[in-house]
Amino acid sequence: MKERNLKQIDIVRLAEPYCKENNTRLGRNDISQYVAGKSEPGQHKLYILGKALNVSEAWLMGYDVPMQAESPAPSNTYPLDDIKFVNVPVIGSVAAGTVCLADNEIIWYEPTDYDDVKDGQEYRYLTVKGDSMYPKFEEGDLVLVRCQSSVDSGSYAVVLIDDEEGVIKKIVYGPNFIELHSINLMYPVRRFENENVLRIWVFGLVRSIKRKL
């Protein structure tokens, strides 16, 4: 850090005790990648860097907040104008077998109002692709998904069919069938009956939409 005349190796050494405490590795290559803007630290490494340098995690992320850390905070939360935020992982897609907690699927972290995710469940953001759910969901929107394997009939959910990539659909249950509804009328309802209902796997429930301006 230029502000403190620190070299990358100095930062690594300062972070060592926090790395051991959190069972996380942080090396010179990581620091180099962050400084060059080639990658961003995940929530655990962001916390470690904040503790090691005694700076605000929000400041490290580039927000216009004071640099100095005012008080200890949970590993993935930070105050911003009296609102507590938490970093929620963004994943590019949901493929067959994707596990909600798989770190290798994470692209970046999106600051999210803590009140939206404070129920203790696991959450992920997914980027909307295509126009099958237009106009409620537009391509490029971020949808906040609560990871769960079942949802109520009439809910919007991220679902997978066989080995297809996960999609957002309105899911409707019947006595011996499941229907997946698109909002865009150009896309027909997909109906699965009897044993074919087993072809459908629910990844999670859509809780909210974040539209990038």
Burial of 208 (0-12, 13-18, 19+ CB in 10 A): middle
- Confirm whether 182 is a catalytic residue: no
- Confirm whether 132 is a catalytic residue: yes
The one catalytic residue in 45, 51, 56, 132 is 132
Structure tokens at 171: 């899911």
Q: Maximum distance among all alpha carbons in the chain? A: 68
Q: What would be the CATH architecture of the domain defined by 82-213?
A: Ribbon (2.10)
Residues 87-126: tens digit of each pLDDT: 888 887 765 555 565 554 778 888 888 888 888 788 999 9
CB–CB of 193/174 below 8 Å? no
For residue 44, count other CB atoms closer than 10 A to its CB. 18
Domain ranges of the chain: 1-79, 82-213
pTM for the whole structure: 0.59
CA distance linking residue 68 with residue 37, whole number of Å: 22
The one catalytic residue in 169, 182, 208, 210 is 169
Residues 1-52: tens digit of each pLDDT: 555 567 788 788 888 887 777 677 888 887 787 777 777 777 667 778 877 7
Residues 6+ apart with CB under 8 A from 66: 56, 59
CATH for 1-79, among 1.10.260.40, 2.40.50.100, 3.40.50.720, 3.90.79.10? 1.10.260.40
